């Protein structure tokens, strides 16, 4: 059996591509998710904003992947290998890192929120490199770029 694949999820007719390791994740009586990591470096509470509404769970940062597991449904999980991440970013304002951060992959982007987003970005920097951890533009910078583009 293959180790994983990207799964197309439709939430209110909006297609979202998610990395799932277990293709039977939504069926009753399935086993709990197999972790891609052999060791966990950091675990913290987080919220995943994938689809409508947020899902509360835990983010696990390990030696091979970033993983999110939902607290209410153990079969609802997201696993993103370090090699699949193009870049990761968060807003920085007055030398403070925002609670929200985005992970950009070839298949789309994932939005998470955590009180420990600064620590998550530091650990991620060790795995994917300094050049892939970026500062996202603020709302005002986005408006300025849209209206005053030459």
3-state secondary structure of 83: helix
Which whole number is the average pLDDT over 2-7? 46
Helices (H) and strands (E) in the chain, counts: 2, 10
pTM: 0.71
Contact of 59 with 46, CB cutoff 8 Å: yes
Domains and CATH numbers, the chain: 5-21+36-147 (2.30.29.30)
Task: Choose among 132, 90, 136: nearest CA to 115.
Answer: 90
Q: Give the tens place of pLDDT for each residue, 102-145.
A: 999 988 899 999 998 889 999 999 999 888 888 888 888 888 88
Q: Give the tens place of pLDDT for each residue, 19-43.
A: 544 433 333 445 567 888 889 999 9
Q: What is the DSSP string of 89-148?
A: EEEEETTEEEEEEEEEETTEEEEEE-TTHHHHHHHHHHHH-GGGEEEPPPHHHHHHHHHS
């Amino acid at each position: 059996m293959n180790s994983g694949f990207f799964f197309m999820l439709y939430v209110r007719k909006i297609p979202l591509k998610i990395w799932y390791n277990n293709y039977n994740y939504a069926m009753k009586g399935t086993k709990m998710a197999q972790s891609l990591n052999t060791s966990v470096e950091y675990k913290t509470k987080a919220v995943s904003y994938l689809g409508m509404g947020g899902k509360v769970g835990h983010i696990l940062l390990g030696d091979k992947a970033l993983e999110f597991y939902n607290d209410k449904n153990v079969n609802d999980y997201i696993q993103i290998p370090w090699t699949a991440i193009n870049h990761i970013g968060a807003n920085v304002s007055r030398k403070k890192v925002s609670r929200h951060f985005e992970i950009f992959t070839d298949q789309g982007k994932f939005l998470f929120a955590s009180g420990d987003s600064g620590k998550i970005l530091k650990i991620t920097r060790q795995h994917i490199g300094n050049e892939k951890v970026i500062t996202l533009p603020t709302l005002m910078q986005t408006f300025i770029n849209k209206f005053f583009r030459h």
